[in-house]
Amino acid sequence: MTALALRMPDRRRLMALSIPFAAVIGSMAIGLLLIAISGKSVPDAIEAFLDGAFGTAFAFGASINRAVSLALIGLGFILAARANLTNVGGEGQIAVGGIAATALALWPPIAGLPLGLAVILPLLAGTLAGAVWGGIAGVMKVRFGTNEVISTLLLGFVALLMVYWCVQSTALLRQPQTSSSTLPESLPIPDSTKLPGLTGDPESPLHIGLVLCLLLALATAVVLQRSTFGLRLRAIGLNELAARRAGMPGSLLLVVALGIAGGFGGLTGAIMLQGEQFYLKAGFSSGYGFDGLVVGLLSRGSTLGVLAGALFFGFLRSGGISMEIMAGVPSALTLVIQGLIVIAVAGSVILVEKLEGGAR
Amino acid sequence: MCNLIFGVYAPSAGQMQFAEEAWLPPSPAEALEQGIAMVHQHFSLVPRMTVVENLMLGQARGILNRQAFAARISDIADRFGFVLDPNAVVGELSVGERQRAEIVKCLMRDPQLLVLDEPTAVLPPSEIGALLDICRRVADSGRAVILVTHKLAEIAKVADKVAVLRTGRLVAQADMATADMGQLVQAMVGREVKPLDVALSDSKAGDEQDEGSAEARPGFALVCDGLTVQDRHGATRLDNFTLEVRPGEIVGLAGVEGNGQSELGMVLAGLLAPTEGRYFIGETELTHAGAAAVTAAGGGIVPEDRHAVACVTAMSVAENMYLNKLDRFTRFGLLQRRALNEAAEVQMKEFDVRAAGPDVAFSGLSGGNQQKAVLGRELTLDPLVALVAAQPTRGLDVSAVEAVYRQIRAAARRGVGVLLISSELDELIAVADRIAVLYRGRLVGERPAEMGERGAIGALMSGQLA
C-alpha cells in the first residue's frame, strides 16, 4: 500500500524492510546491555517487558488501547503534513478533547440518551473541541502568518493548563469537595457514556475505539490517495501559490487541514477518557500527543506506517511501564531505551529513503 | 553536461580532460578545488544576509574579517569592470546584481574555468549586455568560460567558439568567426524553421494571408481601469494602469522588467488585490474576486514565473494540466484518476506536450513542454475570453517558442483577447497587433507593432519620452 512497497524491486524492498527490524533489535540489545550495567537482572527485565506488553489479556488490551491513541494522533499528523503543515499540538488537542468529553458525559441529560448517543455525543464533543483547537492555529497561520509549529505547541500548553484549571475548580469539572482529601479530579463518568468493550471478557480493556481507529485509518488512506481533497492538500503543501492560482481556496484548506488534525487529537482525548480513564485529572494526556507525533513523523505519510508505528510504540510503552514496576528498572533508563529505539528507527527510515532514492 | 564537468554526476561512459589531464571530479567541492567554478541558474545566496556575508559563508575560516573580504570583493568587481556593493543585503538586489555576486563568488577562487548555466535566462534585457561584457573580460584575463544559453544572439556577441547540443548530442561545432548563423539555428531546432526564430521574422503578415485577419471585435475581452498597486513599503509599483483589450486582439505590453509587470500579472491572475482600480474579463468584474473567479470568467493566465505560480512540479503532468479543473474528474469526492489521465493524454497530443506519459512528474519535462502544458490548460478554459501571458517564452528553446506563438495567435483568431507581457521587444513586434509600454508602473505610450516603431518603443521603454 505504501508507495515504497510498490515501486521498489524485490531485493531492495527486502532490504528496506529488514533495516528497521535490525535497527530495533540492535537498539534493544544496547538497552539490555544498559540494564545489565545498571545491575538489574536482564532476564527479569525481559520477562517484565513481555508480560507488560503481551503477557495477559489485560496487558495486551492496554497495549492496543495505547496504540489506538498513538495511531489517531499519527493519522491527524500525516493528514496535515500532506499540506506541509506540522501539527505538534496533539498533546493539547487530546487535553481539550478530554475536557469537552468529560463535560458532556457528566452533564446529566446525556447519560440517559438512547441508541448509543450517550457514548457518541461526548466523542463528537471531544472531536469538535480538538478541531477548534487545531483550527485556531490554522486561522492564526493564514491571518497573521504564525508558524503552526509554534502556535500548535503553545496552544498545547494552554490546553494542558486548562485541564488543571478544570479539575481544580469545583465551578468547573472538579468533583464536589466532601473532605480535605478530595482529589483534584472530575467525577467518574456514568457507565452509559463509557465505550463498549470489544470482547465479552471483562478482564480485557479492549474497547470499540480500536474499530473506530481502523475505520478512520481506512478513511485517511482513501482521502490521501484517492480523493480530490487529498490531492488539493498535496498541491497546497507543495506549492501554495500555484494551488491558489489554480483556484483552490488556499486559506480554507490550511485551516481545515489543521482542524482535522486537531479533530483527531480531540477524538483521541475523548476515547482515552471514555475508554479507559473514566475521569479527568491533571496530566490526563500523559505524553500521547508527543509520542503520536513521533509515530506520524516516522510513518513518512503512509497510513500503514502509522498503524505499524503505533502498535510498536504501544507495546513499547506498556512493556516499559511494566519493566519499571516489576523489574525495578529505573524509569529514566526505560526512557533512554525508548529513545534509543526511536533514534534507530528514525535513522533506518532515512536509510531506507536513501535506498529508495537510489532505486529511481 | 554542466553537472558532469562540475562533478555533480559521473558520466556513464566516456571521459573528460581538463588542463590536459583526465578529469573526473568526485564532487563539486573537488571541482572547485581544481579550478572549476560554476554559476548555477538558481542562485545559492541567503537573501537576508549581505553580499559579503554570503560570500564569506563558503570561504572564510576562523575569525571573520568583513572589511578585508569586502575589499577583495570590490577589487574583483573592479578588475572585471562592474559595480557590486559588498554591504548590500542580497534580498534587496536585482537579479542581475545577485548574479554578479555569484560570479564574484566563483572568481574569488581564481578558477581556470568558469561555467555559466543559462545565466541570461533570468536577466532583464538591460542587464544581459553587461553580463556578456563580464564574460568577455573574464575570458580575456586568461580563463576559459563556458556560456550555456538558448539565445544565439548572445553567443554571436561574445563567444569565440560555439557548440550546439540537442537532446544530449553535440550536433554542431564552429568557430564563431566563420560560423553560419542559419546553420546553427537549424542545428539547434533540428529542422527547418522560418528564418531565425519567429520573434525576429515578421511572420504576422503570412499568418493573416493564410488564415484571415484577426479583426478586433466590438466589446472588450479585458479591461483594466486605473489599476494601482502599492507594496508593503508604500511604494507604487503599478500606477493608474488603464488598458482595454478587444476580442481577437493581441496587445503587447512592453517594458524593461521590474516596471510593474509582475504586479500587473499577479493582479490579473487574481492573486493580488489592487490598492485601487478595477478590472474586468468580459462583463465580469474580478477586482477582488480571486483566482477561481478569474478562471470561471474565462481568464486564462500564463504566469511569468512558471515554477512558482503556474504548476506544482512534484505532481504529475495530468494533475498539472487539470489543476484548475479537478472537479470535473471528481465523483463522490474521489478523483477519477483514469479519466484524468485519459483526458490529459488527449490534451498532451493536442498541445504537443512531450512526456513519457500523463502520470510522470511534471518536473521531468523540459521548460518548453511545461510551458506548452500550462498554455494548454489555460487555453482550454470554457469559456475562454481573455488570455494574459507574461514572458511566455522565457528560457524556451526555439521550437517551443514557435509553438507558444502559434497557440497564442490561434487563440486570438478564435476571438480571445490576448495581453502579452514581455520584455523582448522583437517578440512583441512579431506577435502583437499593438504595443503598450509600461515604465515605472505607468502606461507611457502605445504604438503599432511594426519594425519601424522599434526605436520609438525602445525610447518609451527606457523612459526617455515619459
- pLDDT, one tens digit per residue, over B102-153 is 888 888 878 888 888 878 766 766 677 888 888 888 888 888 888 887 666 7
Contact B333 A229 (CB under 8 A): yes
List the one residue out of B309, B311, B283 whose CA is nearest residue B297: B283
Report pLDDT digits (tens) over B68-85. Answer: 888 888 888 888 777 788
pLDDT at res. A10: 64
Q: What residues are paired with B447 via a beta bridge?
A: B435
pLDDT at res. B420: 93
- Ranking A305-314, A335-344, B39-48, B200-209 by mean pLDDT, the lowest is B200-209
Pairing mode of beta strands B386-390, B299-302: parallel
Report pLDDT digits (tens) over B403-456. Answer: 889 989 999 999 899 999 988 788 888 889 999 998 888 898 888 888 778 778
Report pLDDT digits (tens) over B172-190. Answer: 888 877 777 667 766 765 5
| Residue A244 confidence (pLDDT) above 70 | yes
C-alpha cell read off for A11: 531485493
**Residue A158: inside a domain, yes or no?**
yes
Instruction: Label residue B257 by pLDDT band (50, 70, 90).
Output: confident
Q: How far is CA B30 from CA A99, B3, B34, B58, B138, in A?
A: 60, 13, 6, 14, 22
Report pLDDT digits (tens) over B222-236. Answer: 999 999 998 777 778
Chain A residue at shortest CA distance from B295 = A247
| Residue B211 confidence (pLDDT) above 80 | no
Q: How far apart are the first and last CA of chain B?
A: 45
**Residue A281: inside a domain, yes or no?**
yes
List the one residue out of B148, B159, B172, B183 whose CA is nearest residue B397: B148
Report for A66-70, B13-17, B380-384: range of highest mean pLDDT: A66-70
Q: Which of A228, A231, A247 sits opposite B324 (nearest CB)?
A: A247
Residue that wins the pLDDT comparison between A173 and B344: B344
At CB < 8 Å, which residues of chain A contact B? 222, 226-232, 234-235, 238-239, 241-249
Q: Looking at domain B204-461, which of 3.40.50.300, 1.20.1430.10, 3.30.70.80, 3.40.640.10 is its CATH number? A: 3.40.50.300
* Total domain count, chain A: 1
Instruction: Label residue A269 by pLDDT band (50, 70, 90).
Output: very high
What is the rounded average pLDDT for all residues in chain A?
A: 85
**Residue A21: inside a domain, yes or no?**
no
Contact B311 A249 (CB under 8 A): no
Instruction: Give CATH 3.40.50.300 domain extents, chain B.
Output: 2-159, 204-461
Residue that wins the pLDDT comparison between B224 and B15: B224
Distance separating alpha carbons of residues B45 and A155, to the nearest angstrom: 35
Pairing mode of beta strands B113-117, B144-148: parallel
Q: Which of A231, A234, A245 sits opposite B271 (nearest CB)?
A: A245
Q: Is B291 on the interface with A (CB under 8 A)?
A: yes
pLDDT at res. B399: 84
Smallest CA–CA distance, residue B1 to chain A, in Å, is 20
Burial letters A261-293, b for 16+ CB under 10 A, else e: bbbbbbbbbbbbbbbbbbbbbeebbeebbebbb
Q: Is B335 on the interface with A (CB under 8 A)?
A: yes
List the one residue out of A209, A208, A231, A227 whose CA is nearest residue A219: A227
Mean pLDDT of B193-220: 46
Contact B324 A246 (CB under 8 A): yes
Q: Which amino acid is at B9?
A: Y
pLDDT at res. B189: 55
pLDDT at res. A11: 67
- Ranking A204-208, A219-223, B17-21, B185-189 by mean pLDDT, the lowest is B185-189
Q: Which of B323, B324, B327 to mutate to test the interface with A (most CBs of A within 10 A)?
A: B323
pLDDT at res. A256: 96
pLDDT at res. B110: 81
Distance separating alpha carbons of residues A6 and B287, to the nearest angstrom: 47
Neighbouring CB atoms inside 10 A of B205's CB total 9
**Residue A43: inside a domain, yes or no?**
no
Smallest CA–CA distance, residue B291 to chain A, in Å, is 5
Mean pLDDT of A316-331: 82
CB B298 within 8 A of CB B286: no
Distance separating alpha carbons of residues B420 and B408, to the nearest angstrom: 9
CB A236 within 8 A of CB A253: yes
pLDDT at res. B215: 47
Q: How far is CA B242 from CA B9, B162, B182, B299, B437, in A?
A: 51, 45, 41, 17, 12
Smallest CA–CA distance, residue B323 to chain A, in Å, is 6
Distance separating alpha carbons of residues A119 and A272, to the nearest angstrom: 13
Smallest CA–CA distance, residue A214 to chain B, in Å, is 20
Q: Is B329 on the interface with A (CB under 8 A)?
A: yes
Distance separating alpha carbons of residues B94 and B37, to the nearest angstrom: 22
Q: Is B315 on the interface with A (CB under 8 A)?
A: yes
Report for A120-134, B286-300, B382-396: range of highest mean pLDDT: A120-134
List the one residue out of A293, A297, A288, A294 whose CA is nearest residue A269: A288
**Length of chain A counted residue by residue:** 360
Smallest CA–CA distance, residue A244 to chain B, in Å, is 7
- Chain A residue numbers with beta carbons less than 8 Å from the beta carbon of B390 are none
Smallest CA–CA distance, residue B270 to chain A, in Å, is 7
Chain A residue at shortest CA distance from B268 = A245
Mean pLDDT of B192-216: 42
Q: How far apart are the first and last CA of chain A?
A: 18
Q: How far is CA B289 from CA A170, A240, B156, B284, B368, in A?
A: 51, 18, 47, 10, 31
C-alpha cell read off for B228: 494601482
Instruction: Label residue B1 by pLDDT band (50, 70, 90).
Output: low
Q: Which of A228, A241, A245 sits opposite B326 (nearest CB)?
A: A228
Fold of the domain built from segment(s) B2-159: Rossmann fold (3.40.50)
Residue with cell 524593461: B256
What is the domain range of residue A90? Answer: 65-316
| Residue A220 confidence (pLDDT) above 90 | yes
Contact A227 B334 (CB under 8 A): yes
Residue with cell 533540428: B190
CA atoms within 13 A of residue B145's CA, in its CB half-sphere:
26
Contact A246 B314 (CB under 8 A): no
Contact B335 A235 (CB under 8 A): no
Q: Which amino acid is at A319?
A: G
Angle of CA points B252, B256, B257, to nearest 5°: 95
Mean pLDDT of B255-276: 87
Smallest CA–CA distance, residue A234 to chain B, in Å, is 9
Q: Which of B291, B309, B314 sits opposite A247 (nearest CB)?
A: B291
C-alpha cell read off for A282: 491533571
**Residue A272: inside a domain, yes or no?**
yes
Q: Which of B294, B323, B335 sits opposite A227 (nearest CB)?
A: B335
C-alpha cell read off for B232: 508593503
**Residue A288: inside a domain, yes or no?**
yes
pLDDT at res. B186: 62
List the one residue out of B333, B222, B334, B315 whose CA is nearest residue B267: B222
Q: What residues are paired with B284 via a beta bridge?
A: B281
pLDDT at res. B133: 84
Q: Which of A226, A243, A249 sits opposite B312 (nearest CB)?
A: A243
pLDDT at res. B182: 65
Q: Which of A228, A239, A247 sits opposite B333 (nearest CB)?
A: A228
The four Cα atoms A265, A271, A274, A279 give a dihedral, to 10 degrees, of: -40
Report pLDDT digits (tens) over A2-42. Answer: 444 444 556 666 776 677 778 888 888 888 888 888 888 88
pLDDT at res. B201: 42
CB B265 within 8 A of CB B227: no
Q: Across the A/B interface, how many CB contacts are shorter than 8 Å?
A: 71
| Residue A225 confidence (pLDDT) above 70 | yes
| Residue A125 confidence (pLDDT) above 90 | yes
**SS3 at position A69:** helix
Residue with cell 527606457: B462
Q: Which of A6, A228, A256 to mutate to test the interface with B (most CBs of B within 10 A)?
A: A228
Smallest CA–CA distance, residue B367 to chain A, in Å, is 16
Task: State the DSSP H helix or E strand holding residue B122, giving kind and residue range, or none if neither.
Answer: none
Packing angle of the helix pair A117-144, A250-272 (nearest 10 deg): 140
**Residue A252: inside a domain, yes or no?**
yes
CA atoms within 13 A of residue A131's CA, in its CB half-sphere:
12
Residue that wins the pLDDT comparison between A257 and B8: A257
**Length of chain B counted residue by residue:** 466
Contact A231 B335 (CB under 8 A): yes
Report pLDDT digits (tens) over B330-385. Answer: 888 898 888 999 999 998 998 888 888 898 989 888 888 899 999 999 999 888 99
Q: Which amino acid is at A135?
A: G
**Residue A69: inside a domain, yes or no?**
yes
Mean pLDDT of B37-47: 79
- Chain B residue numbers with beta carbons less than 8 Å from the beta carbon of A248 are 292
**SS3 at position A224:** helix
